[in-house]
Amino acid sequence: MTEHATPALELMADQDGERLDQFLARRLDGASRTQARQLIDDGLVRIDGSLERPAYKLRFGELIAVYPRASSPVEAPIEVELSVVYEDDHLAVIDKPANLTVHPAPGETQPTLIGAILHRWPEVSTISEDDTEADPLRPGLVHRLDRDTTGLLMIAKDAQTLASLRDQLRARTMDKRYLAVVVGAPDPPAGLIDAPIGRDPADPRRMAILDRARPSQTGYETIEQFSDAALLECRLITGRTHQIRVHLSAVGHPIAGDTMYGMPTPLINRQALHATRLTIRHPVSDEPLTLESGPPADIRNLLSHLREGELLLGDQPMPRTQRASADAAHRRSRSGSRGRRRRTQRIR
């Protein structure tokens, strides 16, 4: 959804395991379960920013936003050039550009990826991973990326493929890797961040690390170290909204250009985060399939400046926690200690 859309009502889930449609029927005065389902099917209900089905099981603390019906975001097909990395009769993988929202949202007026998908592959509008009616707001979408995150995104062309790929996501057998340029120098240079993520109660646009939120894990490894920045490869073990951005910020290394969880940089005008590699089992052949996408021009340009010795933050002072980690990395490099020590960082 866009940051400009304004919900008519926001509710907090008060127990685990309740169906979304049952919750809305219970909490919305005068609403029947049928009416609640219609709101959900029309794309007017979001859970922590995501579209879900009526049968979705809520978790305690999740934020449920309900939007006015006049702002229904159902998308029409629209021609937007898509870079297709892989395609066969069952699935397609595209290289998503920056500044393109995946889902239509209340108040959205710009073209979205859904509209482009419907234009390129109109057949996906009728598929569903089960026997229920197809979801017109997520046609063929297996997963999603933030508006300004670039890289690999999967589209299923038939029900079997959609069900198989979503099952792989749920079972965590799908390997998704991202490149991220971050402030400072992670110490240790490789590790696992284990911290639960939920909607920030102080700002519903943001996610935050919260007790009783959804378990979330991100692996990372430093690929290249610069003066005040580092290039990381990150692995999503779980897949929460803004997960990599929140986790890296929480350990003192926000992504370059991420103004929501970090600070701006003169070297790039969005968060420097790119979905670079994807490994799945093909839904029909069951053979492993690995797809790759190199960083786009703006991240390549950022890396070029950093390799030439430019500072990520320019004249801005580096926050104290990030300065300490950068100094530690400098000491390691001078002493010749560049081993890939790993550590799990648990944040509660």
Annotation says 228 is catalytic: no
Axis-axis angle for helices 33-41, 20-27 (nearest 10): 120
Do the Cβ atoms of 155 and 141 come closer than 8 Å?
Answer: yes
Q: Which two tokens stand for residue 278?
A: 């994807």
CB-count exposure of residue 255 (10 Å: 0-12, 13-18, 19+): buried
Residue 329: what residue type? A
> Where are the extended beta strands (E) located within the chain?
9-12, 45-47, 63-66, 84-87, 91-96, 150-156, 175-183, 190-194, 197-199, 207-209, 217-225, 229-236, 273-281, 288-292, 342-346
Contacts 24+ apart (CB under 8 A), 51-55: 51/103, 51/135, 51/137, 51/138, 52/20, 53/20, 53/132, 53/135, 54/19, 54/20, 54/21, 55/19, 55/20, 55/21
Burial 126-160 (b: 16+ CB within 10 A, else e): ebbbeeeebbbbbbbbbbbbbbbbbbbbbbbbbbe
CB atoms inside a 10 Å sphere around CB 206: 17
Q: Which two tokens stand for residue 246?
A: 């929140």
Q: How far apart are alpha carbons 15 and 222 in whole angstroms?
A: 39
Residue 228 half-sphere exposure toward CB, CA atoms < 13 A: 19
What is the DSSP-derived secondary structure letter of residue 50?
B
Of the residues 48, 95, 146, 158, only one is catalytic, namely 146
DSSP H helical ranges for 10-145: 20-27, 33-41, 113-120
CB-count exposure of residue 90 (10 Å: 0-12, 13-18, 19+): middle
Q: Which residue has the tokens 């320019």?
A: 314
Catalytic residues: 146
